[in-house]
A and B are shown apart, each in its own frame.
Chain A
Amino acid sequence: MDFKESKFMYAIAGFIILFVIAQSVFFMVRAWRRGKEIGMKTSDLKNTVTSSALFTIAPAIAILATVITLAGTLGLVLPWIRLTVIGNLQYEVTAAQAAMEGFEGSGAIFGKSIEDPRIFAAVSWVMTLGSISPLFLLPLLLKTIQKKMGKVSTAGGDGKFGDIISAATFIGLVAAFIGVSVAGKAPTLKINGQAIPDKNSMGAGVLSVSVLITSIVVFMLLQWLCKKFKLTKLETFIMPISMFIGMGMAMLIYNISPEIAQIEWRPVS
Chain B
Amino acid sequence: MKRSYIDRTHTWGRIFSVTAICVLISLPIAICLHYDAWPEARQVLIGLRGVVPIFWTTAVLEIIVYAPMLGTGATYLAFVTGNITNLKLPCALNAKENAHVKNGTEEDEVISTIAVASSAIVTTVILAVGVVAMSPLLSKITAEGSPFAPAFKQVIPALFGALGAGYFAKHWRISIIPILTAIILVVIDGNMKTGTLIPVCIVISILAAYIMYINGLLTGGVKPENPLKSFKKDKTESK
Whether A138 touches B13, Cβ cut-off 8 Å, given contacts A51-B95, A169-B205, is yes
B114 touches A48 (CB 8 A): yes
B77 touches A24 (CB 8 A): yes
Q: Which of B114, B167, B190 contacts A185 (CB 8 A)?
A: B190
Max count, chain B CB within 10 A of own CB: residue among A63, A153, A223, A266: A63
Interface bits A141-153 vs B (CB < 8 Å: 1, else 0):
1110110011111
Chain B residue numbers with a CB within 8 Å of A203 are: 190
Of all chain B residues, which has the CB nearest A152?
B231
A85 touches B87 (CB 8 A): no
Considering only CB atoms and an 8 Å cut-off, how many residues of chain B contact the other chain?
A: 165
B152 touches A200 (CB 8 A): yes
Chain A residue numbers with a CB within 8 Å of B178 are: 168, 171-172, 175
- Min Cβ gap A176→B in Å is 4
Chain B residue numbers with a CB within 8 Å of A199 are: 144
A88 touches B114 (CB 8 A): no
Whether A121 touches B150, Cβ cut-off 8 Å, given contacts A31-B117, A56-B123, A155-B228, is no
Whether A213 touches B152, Cβ cut-off 8 Å, given contacts A64-B130, A103-B43, is no
A125 touches B153 (CB 8 A): no
Q: Which of A38, A44, A151 contacts B106 (CB 8 A)?
A: A38
A153 touches B81 (CB 8 A): no
Chain B residue numbers with a CB within 8 Å of A129 are: 44, 48, 52
Interface bits A178-200 vs B (CB < 8 Å: 1, else 0):
11111111001000000000011
B234 touches A155 (CB 8 A): yes
CA distance A124 to B25 in the complex (A): 9
Chain A residue numbers with a CB within 8 Å of B168 are: 171, 216
B186 touches A183 (CB 8 A): yes
A40 touches B107 (CB 8 A): yes
- Min Cβ gap B60→A in Å is 6
B194 touches A102 (CB 8 A): no
A229 interfacial by beta-carbon distance below 8 Å: no
Could you list 5 A-B pairs, sorted by A, with CB under 8 Å? A28-B117, A48-B114, A63-B86, A171-B171, A184-B192
Going nearest first, the 7 A-B pairs with the smallest beta carbon separation are A179-B182, A98-B50, A156-B227, A172-B205, A102-B43, A246-B158, A172-B202
- Given A21-B120, A254-B149, 10 more A-B residue pairs with CB atoms under 8 Å apart are A12-B26, A34-B109, A59-B159, A102-B43, A136-B17, A138-B79, A139-B17, A171-B174, A181-B157, A223-B166
